[in-house]
Structures are given as structure tokens and as C-alpha cells.
Amino acid sequence: MNKPASAVPARFKHAGAGHEIEIKLAAPDVAAAARRLVDLGAARGPRVHEVNAVFDTPDSRMRSRGQLLRLRVERRVSRRSRHTGLNAREKAAVGTPRARLARVAEMLFPPRGGGRALVTLKAPVAHAPEGRRRQGPQERRRAAAYKIRREIEFAIPDAGALRAVLAYLGYHPVFFYEKFRTTYRLPGRKDVVVALDETPIGTYLELEGRPREIDRARKLLGYEAREAILASYGALYAAQQRARHLPFRHMLFE
């Protein structure tokens, strides 16, 4: 099992409380999006393949509360690789969707045990971060322009052990998804990280950081405020499946 690749830091804090502040932007042409970032002088980080498992109870306790408990494993892939998703050789190796799901689960939970991984808990922000005055109407409207979540994140040395603990507590994997992510830093913009995400449902730019810097980066990339997407990848996948009259399963490359 490869160790998780060290990504460009993408976590920002307000008054000691960890909050994830981000937007997504649709980028149908992955090559054009990458060229735009290079033209802007962005420093490119590693390209990684992410596999994720979302945990919940049989009665969807986490989802009903707007919470997410996720386990993620990353492996670095070639910087020279420019394909979107799996190439022909990889597709031939994974075979059927069921085989692909088994492979993703094996990457997350190695059969021989162990497996370093990243655990993330996300939850709604019920009120303004501690130490800040109550937001007025204008500030609330501005906050609505971004996806803002409370976030706790930490690395663990044994994903299989965590799965066993969560199972004992009644939590099991309910949704698997994967993507390829390349991170970028724009020159002079230390408070925002841009991620180019190649997913089974399309390519997106994800901007995470401080609101003002997110706005500046969005404009540099040529997008209007109305083009910001606040939905999660799970929600985007669910919407796509409904539009195609297909069941909600797992967001995996085929």
C-alpha cells in the first residue's frame, strides 16, 4: 500500500475553529483548465488518485444531520499522466463495476491489515465561529456564496482497525467514490488552494481558502460568481443519477 501523497495544505482556520470554505467550478475541458492555471503561473503540486468511503448508520443518522464521516486513501500517480480517469490498461484490469468496487475497498482496507488513511468529519456550521461578532444580513448573504463546513481531520495508521471500531459502533461504509486531484497554488495567493478534480461525473475546479481570496482566484480563472457550485460530489452524483433514471450506487470510474 502506498502512503498518502503529501498534498498542498488546504485547510484554513477562523478564530481557532477549523472550517472548510470552498466552491466548485465546472471545468469540462481538463486540458484547458490545466493550461489556464499554468498561464497564470500557478505552482503545481502532486497528482493523486483518491479513494473514499463514507460511513453512516443503517438509518442514515449522519446524513439526516447534514454530517459526513469519511475515510480517504491517496496514492501519487505520474505527473506526466494527462488522461481523465482510468486509461485503457487500467480499465481492462478492473473489469466489471463490481470488481472495481472490490478494488477500491481493498485500497481502503488492505486484506493484510494496516493501511494509513485520512479521517474527516464534516458538519454544518450552526453559528458564527467563536470570537466573532454575530453576522449581519450582508455578511450572511456573503457567507451563502460559499460552502462552509465545520471540519475535523486527522491521519490514522490502520484503516482496517478504524473500520472495525466504527462497525462496533454501528457505522458502515455506505458510499464509495474516487477521483484524481492535482493541486495548484496561484502566485501571490497564499490563502487559497485550487484543486483540479477529475471525477467519474466530470472535471471540476475546487477553490478552498478565505472568501476574498476565493473570489479573486475565481475571477482570475474566468468564472462569474453565479457559476459557483456549493454541492458536494455525492450530491452532484445523486443529481446526475436521478437525471438519468439510474440508482444511486457508488461514484467510481468505469
3-state helix, strand, coil in the chain (%, to 5): 30, 35, 35
Beta bridge partners of 43: 185
Read off the CATH number of the domain in which 36 is found: 2.40.320.10
Least trusted range by pLDDT, from 80-94, 160-174, 182-196, 221-235: 80-94
Number of domains in the chain: 1
| pLDDT higher than 60, residue 138 | no
Residue 1: inside a domain: no
Measured between alpha carbons, how far is residue 142 from residues 11, 133, 202, 215 in Å?
20, 15, 27, 11
Least trusted range by pLDDT, from 15-24, 95-104, 159-168, 170-179: 15-24
Residue 142: inside a domain: yes
- Find out whether 7 and 46 touch, Cβ atoms under 8 Å: yes
Q: Which domain holds residue 147?
A: 12-243
Residue pLDDT, tens place only, 178-228: 999 999 999 999 899 999 999 999 999 999 999 999 999 999 999 999 999
What is residue 112's predicted lDDT score, i.e. its pLDDT? 82
Note the pTM of the prediction, 2 decimals: 0.84
What is residue 64's predicted lDDT score, i.e. its pLDDT? 96
What is residue 11's predicted lDDT score, i.e. its pLDDT? 45
Strand duo 17-26 + 147-156: pairing = antiparallel
Residue 170: inside a domain: yes
pLDDT band at 115 (very low <50, low <70, confident <90, very high): confident
Residue 4: inside a domain: no
| pLDDT higher than 70, residue 98 | yes
| pLDDT higher than 80, residue 141 | no
Residue 248: inside a domain: no
Residue 5: inside a domain: no
Between residues 254 and 41, the one the model is more confident about? 41
Residue 194: inside a domain: yes
What is residue 144's predicted lDDT score, i.e. its pLDDT? 79
